[in-house]
Amino acid sequence: MYRVQDEVSLLRASLDGDTGAWGEMISRYKDAVFGLCLGFLRNRADAEDVAHDAFIRAYVNLRRFHLDKRFSTWLFTIAANLCRNRLRYRKNHPVAELPDQIKGGSDPAGDVAREDRQTKVREALGRLPYGYRAPLVLRFYNDLAYQEIAGILSIPEGTVKTRIHRGKAMLKQLMEEGA
Amino acid sequence: MPHDELERILRDTLQREVAESAPRLEGLEERILSDLGERRPRLGLVEWLGQLLAPTRGGRVGQFAIVGATAAAFLLIGLFISGDLLDRVSPPQFELAPAVASGAAPMADEDSVSGDQQVLFVVPAPLNAKTVVVVGDFNHWEETALTDDDHDGIWTATIPLAPGRYEYGFLIDGRWWGEDPRADEHVQSFGEYSSVRYVGRGGDGA
């Protein structure tokens, strides 16, 4: 029943305590939020945890969101901040091998050359510093404009452009090193 | 590999990682709603005060007393915090940002303390520049801030570096500047220049 409703109606219903409406918002955004978290964190379990927390926090703090603004930007900002916190935690509490860590991996049924390139991208993304990985994920997974990325990561728009440019160059270099 | 192809592979890879994780996302809505339980969106201060001031059977006098007492409490806390902050104020200290990656996986050995040379980075920036940072191999392309304490437009940072070849560039208010006149050479990649400094082994390093 919520499919036909626009986002603002769903948010208003959520504010009024309609958890079904919030469930619909989760359905609409869970891939985007999980993908952001997975791209940032490179670990499936952490990404699921953080995506879960992001939706809880967004709901509890929903009155802070201005309905005339873009909801996705607000939600992605919450998720990005939680990812940064999780990375800080991982840095201070290192473990030898995290479960569910994204590695190369390949699909035997897939095209060999394509598989090889995707494996290299996965490995290279894991080695790319967070400051460069995050803008790349927001740009190429979430399809966001530079201005939105700047707002989410709290950095100037020029820095976003530079980091995406440099990030691609570094990614290419890392892929070649892994060749 | 052309730019467009790299972008396409990156896009495909990220989308595929999410598709592969689809089983994890099944039932996420129910799990979140279950964890939320009876929790509802928190009231902001304005809504909270509005509820207190709304006419009810209890009468308004008592509610105004509560609001007054709350306001007084906030005032006292505010005075306490501002006093505490004044006590804490101290002159700013010059400190280089740590030259390590903030990501989970450092790209190279971070231990380069002993035997390092102090390498000076200098940028003549516009007088209205607000931030100048250097990014390069030595800090894993994370930002290390330069400072201009005397506001003459000359921003500097001294970074200890082990002997080796380092590619780097500067960001002046977020804009790339890769042609450092103090560099030993310049290299071009992806249509823009980066600087290269050789530390030790014949490079000036300072």
Question: Per-residue pLDDT averaged across B69-80, rounded?
Answer: 64
Q: Does B42 touch chain A (CB under 8 A)?
A: yes
Question: Per-residue pLDDT averaged across A139-163, rounded?
Answer: 91
By Cβ distance, the residue of A17, A44, A60 closest to B21 is: A44
Residues 6+ apart with CB under 8 A from B44: A63, A64
Q: Given a cut of 70, is residue B84 above it in pLDDT?
A: no
Question: Per-residue pLDDT averaged across B140-159, rounded?
Answer: 89
Question: Per-residue pLDDT averaged across A27-54, rounded?
Answer: 95
- pLDDT at res. A157: 84
Q: Tell me if residue A62 falls in helix, strand or coil.
A: helix
Contact A141 B11 (CB under 8 A): yes
Number of H helices, E strands in chain A: 8, 0
Architecture of domain A108-179: Orthogonal Bundle (1.10)
Contact B102 A133 (CB under 8 A): no
Chain B residue with Cα closest to A34: B18
Shortest Cα–Cα distance, B165 to chain A (Å): 16
Instruction: Quote the CA–CA distance of A46 and B165 in Å, as a whole number.
Output: 36
The mean-pLDDT minimum among A169-178, B56-65, B162-171, B195-204 falls in B56-65
Mean pLDDT score across all residues of chain A: 86
Q: Given a cut of 70, is residue B91 above it in pLDDT?
A: no
In this prediction, what percent of chain B has a pLDDT beyond 70? Answer: 59
- pLDDT at res. B63: 57
Confidence class of residue B96 from pLDDT cuts 50, 70 and 90? very low
By Cβ distance, the residue of B14, B39, B142 closest to A35 is: B14
Q: Does B36 touch chain A (CB under 8 A)?
A: yes
- Locate the domains of chain A by residue range: 1-102, 108-179
Q: Given a cut of 50, is residue A26 above it in pLDDT?
A: yes
Q: Do domains A1-102 and A108-179 have the same CATH topology?
A: no
- Residue B187 forms beta bridges with which residues? B194
Question: Per-residue pLDDT averaged across B172-198, rounded?
Answer: 81
Q: Are strands B192-200 and B203-204 parallel, antiparallel or unpaired?
A: antiparallel
Q: Given a cut of 90, is residue A154 above it in pLDDT?
A: no
- DSSP code at position A173: H
The mean-pLDDT minimum among A65-69, B41-45, B80-84, B130-134 falls in B80-84
Residues 6+ apart with CB under 8 A from A108: none
pTM given for the model: 0.61
* B:120-179 residues touching chain A, CB 8 A cutoff: 135, 140-143, 169, 171, 173-176
In tens, the pLDDT along A74-96 reads: 999 999 999 988 888 877 776 65
Q: Given a cut of 80, is residue A33 above it in pLDDT?
A: yes
Match 């996986």 to its residue by tokens: B105
Q: Provide the token pair at A30.
A: 């869970």
Contact B28 A26 (CB under 8 A): yes
- Residue B169 forms beta bridges with which residues? B135
Q: Does B12 touch chain A (CB under 8 A)?
A: yes
- pLDDT at res. B165: 87
Predicted ipTM > 0.90? no
CB B204 within 8 A of CB B185: no
Question: B74: closest CA among B48, B42, B56, B40?
Answer: B48
User: Could you tell me which CATH class the domain B117-204 is placed in?
Assistant: mainly beta
Please list every residue in chain B whose beta carbon sits closer than 8 Å to the beta carbon of residue A87.
Answer: 102-104
Shortest Cα–Cα distance, B121 to chain A (Å): 20
Q: Tell me if residue A93 falls in helix, strand or coil.
A: coil
Please list every residue in chain A whose beta carbon sits closer than 8 Å to the beta carbon of residue B40.
Answer: 17
- pLDDT at res. B175: 79
Picking from A12, A15, A19, A66 by the largest number of B CB atoms within 10 A of its own CB, the best residue to mutate is A19
- CATH code of the domain occupying A1-102: 1.10.1740.10
By Cβ distance, the residue of B3, B10, B140 closest to A121 is: B10
Shortest Cα–Cα distance, B126 to chain A (Å): 16
Task: Tell me which amino acid residue B95 is.
Answer: E
Contact A59 B41 (CB under 8 A): yes
Question: Per-residue pLDDT averaged across B102-128, rounded?
Answer: 63
